[in-house]
Amino acid sequence: MARITLDHLAHAYGPAPKGPQDYALKEIDHVWEQGGAYALLGPSGCGKTTLLNIISGLVRPSRGRILFDDRDVTDLPTEARNIAQVFQFPVVYDTMTVRENLAFPLKNRHVPADRTAARAEEIARLLDLTRVLDRKARNLTADMKQKISLGRGLVRSDVAAILFDEPLTVIDPHLKWQLRSTLKEIHRLLDITMIYVTHDQTEALTFADKVVVMHDGAVVQTGTPEELFERPAHTFVGHFIGSPGMNVLPCRVDGATAYLDNEAIKLLRAYPALRQGQRIELGIRPEFVQLQPKGFGFPARVRRIDDIGRARIARVEMAGRAMSASVPDNVSVTGDEAALFFDTRHVHIYADGHLMAGE
């Protein structure tokens, strides 16, 4: 196991990058602590797979270094990095049994036969593969084959880290939940650094202790699921995480008051560091904006109310800005005129997309 450090890492696929727009990864500094369960979360094309391939050695970065503890591995090939990888699609030997498939990575490294057999059985038990241990892989379903791939990734106990690249893509939806919590459980038992790439926030938030959010080739925030929800460091994180995401509303701030046109929202802190002409936005999650009958808060117009199972969410307009608000169980609104109550403890101010610290 190792702590993995990315030091000023950047990568462009093309031969002569001219500016930031030509880089798939832009100047990443990041530390993956030993033994952590990390999710690497971001929309399609933000650079997750590129980053994973750089850690494993499949791609050499254009700039910067990768360290495993204090050892610089930037120029080492994949085989010399001691990394296990699980991909989107099953990588199994069809003609081998499940047992042989699980044992393969250990046999390859000349681990004694008795230890290999015991470890293969342990991993099979954790993934609920015991009853098919002596079946040929080719006779099994795609779900089962992907479980074998997971098992092959998990079987070595001496790896620096295990990298998962959207490993549940081919898994049947009803099995996904189960397998996700199985992986989490396995992480607790094995205590190996795991980095799990996904664009699915539910998958990231249920698997990880720490979520690393990427946007446009950069890491924009690393935090626990609670931190990402409570204090998004960037408007992108607030918007990307949550269902629906955080409201991001252009505003003007004067001292400890935010103005949405003429509606004044008292803030808990003042923001004297804001510069004249800076692009400023107020962020608040729909969970902390409550729809109320007309007259009980800021005037708003209701466009529609959706029942999303665990809550009712209203699409509303206030001071010319469209946003989402939650509708408390005891509130019924007739017509389209209503009011909004903002829980100011959960209001954040962003300048040029970045969270501002108030004073």
Binding site residues, ligand ATP, CB under 6 A: 13, 24, 42, 44-50, 199
- Min. distance of Cβ 25 from ligand ATP in angstroms? 8
**Residue number, 199 or 231, with CB nearest to ligand ATP:** 199
Look at residues 134, 133, 130, 150 and name the one whose alpha carbon lies nearest to residue 142: 150
Which is closer to ligand ATP, CB of 50 or CB of 326? 50
Q: How far is the CB of 222 from ligand ATP (least distance, A)?
A: 16
Task: Report the C-alpha gap between 66 and 55 in whole angstroms.
Answer: 7
Closest approach of ligand ATP to the CB of residue 216, in Å: 9
CB 179 → ligand ATP: shortest distance, Å? 19
Instruction: Enter the tokens of residue 170.
Output: 């081919």
Q: How far is the CB of 167 from ligand ATP (least distance, A)?
A: 13
Q: Which is nearer to ligand ATP, 163 or 327 (CB)?
A: 163
Q: Please, which residue, 11 or 285, has the CB nearer to ligand ATP? A: 11
Helix residue ranges per DSSP H, the chain: 48-56, 98-107, 113-126, 142-154, 173-190, 201-207, 225-230, 235-240
Nearest to 6 by CA among 91, 84, 64: 64
Q: How far is CA 106 from CA 30, 169, 183, 345, 347, in A?
A: 31, 26, 20, 53, 52
Q: Minimum distance from CB of 40 to ligand ATP (Å)? A: 9
Nearer to ligand ATP, 236 or 298 (CB): 236
Residues 6+ apart with CB under 8 A from 332: none
Phi then psi for 119, rounded to 5 degrees? -70, -40
- Closer residue to ligand ATP in complex, CB, 169/178: 169
Please write down the HEC assignment for all residues of 253-293.
Answer: EECCEEEECCEEEECCCCCCCCCCCCCEEEEECHHHEEEEE
Name residue, tokens 């107020």.
282
CB of 38 to ligand ATP, least distance (A): 15
In the complex with ligand ATP, which residue's Cβ is closer, 52 or 144?
52
